């Protein structure tokens, strides 16, 4: 599945011709959501501007400078300066990014987009950019939701966006040691397709899977939907090659080392601020024999949380553990997600006394048939001990089918004048309840200052023995006069509520621009100084993705 950037939505998620499927229930859902928000959504249509009408800042490279860049990249075919290429590489896919794009409010855009096809080309481009003091923004799928790929420099220097998606090949396959080496610009589906040829998988499936790259996963320290079993991307990383303005870094390739700090862990989460990730050797595994996932209904979020904690601390090898709170459970029932969800409610609610606080969990795994049956049966037994009711596999089928389609709903709701944003954190099990409560209250208070309501959903995923990721989804009526200005205090309210209880500013989205103000609360000033020191050593001129992660 090669992704042509021209086939994607320039101001939204994914493919340009794909819309979220409400299964014929769009107007019904909008009426219901409108009641929650006190807004009339049916019939509202706020379309984006035409991309040709977006005014981009002028290119700051002279013809001679552009010619030098073309020579460094290896030819004209590896450099783009046309309007659409600059526009589509100007920012990522966060809510404020989309609000700016849809309104044509693009104040920063790359002066050129380079698409290298070799490590040598990357090194040549970086050498030229150091000489000319041009900024370099590494760019994979462009799916960042934290301002991580914005074509912007605090000092106002020219910006070269380095699109890595030409570097998309498998370089080595080692079945004996269960590793494979890929160029970093390969998209998720293409990587898995290569491994499928030998009946192997990586097992990393973030929601951005179709439109994100291996290098982007590492740079953002990504987590996939089956991280409970396979780990996060840093657990899958055996070694990598990073080209920095100061030279090439090749990390040690092997199972484990006590020879000082782990440089792979230093690169993971560096967000393109140390250099350009060009290759990665990853830990692969045979394709699983069997797969099983069940839906479990709990009377309330507290009971479900206790069950997930018990499962996590029992060290069961589950790949799926996701618990929706009552608001998210109800919302999915209203979204036209298929008759199975309605069947779940009809089947379980009346006979067993589940009330308005009912929550649904998805519990499952993959592996050998024997292991799958054993682990799922043990997990379901733990759920029963916490008042959970298994309602079978049929309610999970639509979720599994549509798991990469949910981001498309954000674009549809923006057309209806509704903002949809996400934020995630990770906290100890003992703090999940208070963080969920206080984030919701902080959002209600912030929107309430303007007489508006907010619809806040939450779910647990990516669970660990000591705690879990909490993922928040919020919907609220847009202020069409200043939507980005409206968003900023909303974002701050979420981050402040999380930071108050010691939650991480990000479990898997990264830092970028949007989360940077809160990073010192987690890392401390000395920790930030250490990150800055590594950055200065790798990039003395400060050209690599400036303004992101740390100043």
- The DSSP symbol for 407 reads T
pLDDT-based confidence at 393, cuts 50/70/90? confident
- Determine the average pLDDT of the residues in 68-89: 98
Residue 215 makes CB contacts below 8 A (sequence gap 6+) with 138, 140, 164, 184, 185, 276, 277, 278, 280
Rg of the chain over all Cα atoms, to the nearest angstrom = 23
* Best CA proximity match to 509, nearest among 233, 194, 300, 291: 233
How far separated are the first and last CA of the chain, in Å rounded? 37
Question: Vertex 421, ends 361 and 522: CA angle to 5°?
Answer: 85
pTM of the model: 0.95
CA distance 210 to 176: 29
Residue 506 makes CB contacts below 8 A (sequence gap 6+) with 146, 424, 425, 515
Pick 295 or 350 by higher pLDDT.
295
CA distance 202 to 151: 31
Give the CA distances from residue 268 to residues 275, 451, 503, 545, in Å, rounded to whole numbers and listed in that order: 12, 42, 20, 15
pLDDT exceeding 90 applies to what percent of the chain? 89
pLDDT of residue 470: 98
The set of long-range contacts for 355-358, using a CB threshold of 8 Å and a minimum separation of 24, is 355/299, 356/326, 357/299, 357/300, 357/301, 357/326, 358/297, 358/298, 358/299, 358/300, 358/326, 358/329
Give the CA distances from residue 65 to residues 110, 126, 542, in Å, rounded to whole numbers and listed in that order: 14, 14, 20
Are 479 and 486 in contact by the 8 Å Cβ rule? The answer is: yes
CA distance 100 to 119: 34
Give the HSE-up count for residue 551: Cα atoms under 13 Å, Cβ half-sphere.
9
What are the pLDDT digits (tens) for 1-20? 578 999 999 999 999 999 99
CA distance 509 to 468: 15
- Determine the average pLDDT of the residues in 343-372: 77
pLDDT of residue 392: 87
pLDDT exceeding 70 applies to what percent of the chain? 96
What are the pLDDT digits (tens) for 433-461? 999 999 999 999 999 999 999 999 999 99
* Active site residue ranges: 471
Question: Vertex 421, ends 420 and 426: CA angle to 5°?
Answer: 145
* Best CA proximity match to 162, nearest among 135, 144, 191, 127: 135
pLDDT-based confidence at 344, cuts 50/70/90? low
The yes-or-no verdict on residue 339 having pLDDT over 60 is no
pLDDT of residue 345: 54
The full length of the chain comes to: 551
The yes-or-no verdict on residue 195 having pLDDT over 60 is yes
- Determine the average pLDDT of the residues in 241-249: 98
pLDDT-based confidence at 333, cuts 50/70/90? confident
pLDDT of residue 91: 99
The yes-or-no verdict on residue 432 having pLDDT over 90 is yes
What are the pLDDT digits (tens) for 251-300? 999 999 999 999 999 999 999 999 999 999 999 999 999 999 999 999 99
pLDDT of residue 350: 56
- Determine the average pLDDT of the residues in 347-353: 57
- 61: Cα separation from own chain's centroid: 33
Q: Which residue ranges form the domains of the chain, and what is each CATH number?
A: 49-163 (3.30.43.10), 170-286 (3.30.465.10), 290-401 (3.30.70.3450), 408-510 (3.30.300.330)
Residue 36 makes CB contacts below 8 A (sequence gap 6+) with 453, 455
pLDDT of residue 349: 61
The yes-or-no verdict on residue 347 having pLDDT over 60 is no
- 250: Cα separation from own chain's centroid: 26
């Amino acid at each position: 599945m090669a992704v042509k950037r021209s086939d994607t939505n320039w101001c939204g998620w994914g493919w340009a011709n794909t819309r979220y499927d409400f299964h014929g229930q769009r107007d019904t859902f909008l009426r219901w959501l409108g009641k929650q928000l006190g807004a009339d959504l049916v019939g509202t249509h706020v379309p984006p501007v035409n991309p040709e009408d977006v005014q981009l800042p002028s290119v700051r490279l002279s013809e001679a400078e552009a010619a030098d860049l073309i020579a460094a990249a290896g030819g004209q075919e590896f450099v783009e300066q046309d309007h659409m290429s600059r526009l589509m590489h100007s920012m990522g896919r966060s809510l404020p990014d989309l609000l700016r794009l849809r309104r044509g409010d693009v104040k920063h855009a790359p002066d050129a987009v380079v698409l290298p096809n070799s490590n040598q080309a990357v090194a040549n481009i970086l050498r030229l950019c150091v000489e000319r003091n041009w900024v370099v923004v590494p760019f994979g799928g462009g799916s960042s939701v934290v301002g991580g790929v914005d074509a912007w420099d605090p000092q106002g220097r020219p910006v070269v966006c380095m699109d890595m998606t030409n570097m998309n090949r498998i370089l080595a396959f080692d079945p004996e040691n269960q590793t494979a080496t890929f160029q970093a610009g390969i998209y998720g589906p293409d990587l898995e397709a290569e491994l499928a040829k030998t009946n192997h998988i990586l097992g990393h499936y973030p929601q951005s899977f179709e439109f994100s790259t291996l290098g982007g996963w590492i740079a953002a320290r990504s987590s996939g939907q089956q991280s409970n079993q396979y780990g996060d991307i840093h657990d899958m990383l055996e070694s990598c090659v990073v080209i920095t303005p100061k030279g090439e870094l090749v990390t040690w390739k092997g199972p484990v080392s006590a020879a000082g700090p782990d440089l792979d862990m230093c690169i993971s989460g560096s967000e393109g601020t140390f250099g350009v990730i060009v290759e990665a050797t990853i830990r692969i595994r045979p394709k699983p024999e069997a797969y099983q996932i069940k839906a479990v209904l709990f009377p309330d979020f507290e009971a479900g949380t206790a069950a997930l904690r018990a499962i996590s601390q029992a060290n069961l090898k589950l790949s799926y553990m996701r618990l929706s709170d009552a608001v998210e459970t109800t919302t999915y029932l209203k979204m036209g997600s298929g008759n199975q969800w309605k069947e779940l409610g009809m089947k379980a609610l009346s006979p067993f006394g589940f009330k308005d606080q009912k929550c649904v969990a998805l519990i499952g795994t993959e592996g050998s048939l024997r292991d799958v049956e054993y682990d799922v049966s043990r997990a379901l037994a733990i759920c029963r001990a916490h008042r959970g009711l298994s309602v079978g596999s049929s309610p999970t089928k639509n979720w599994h089918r549509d798991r990469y389609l949910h981001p498309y709903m954000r674009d549809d709701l923006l057309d209806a004048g509704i903002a949809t944003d996400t934020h995630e954190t990770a906290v100890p099990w003992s703090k999940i309840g208070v963080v969920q409560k206080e984030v919701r209250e902080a959002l209600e208070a912030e929107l309430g200052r303007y007489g508006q309501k907010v619809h806040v959903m939450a779910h647990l995923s990516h669970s660990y023995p000591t705690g879990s990721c909490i993922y928040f989804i919020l919907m609220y009526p847009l202020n069409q006069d200043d939507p980005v200005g409206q968003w900023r205090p909303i974002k701050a309210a979420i981050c402040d509520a999380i930071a108050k209880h010691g939650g991480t500013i990000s479990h898997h989205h990264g830092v970028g621009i949007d989360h940077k103000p809160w990073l010192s609360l987690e890392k401390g000033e000395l920790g930030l100084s250490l990150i800055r020191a590594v950055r200065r050593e790798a990039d003395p001129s400060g050209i690599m993705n400036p303004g992101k992660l740390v100043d």
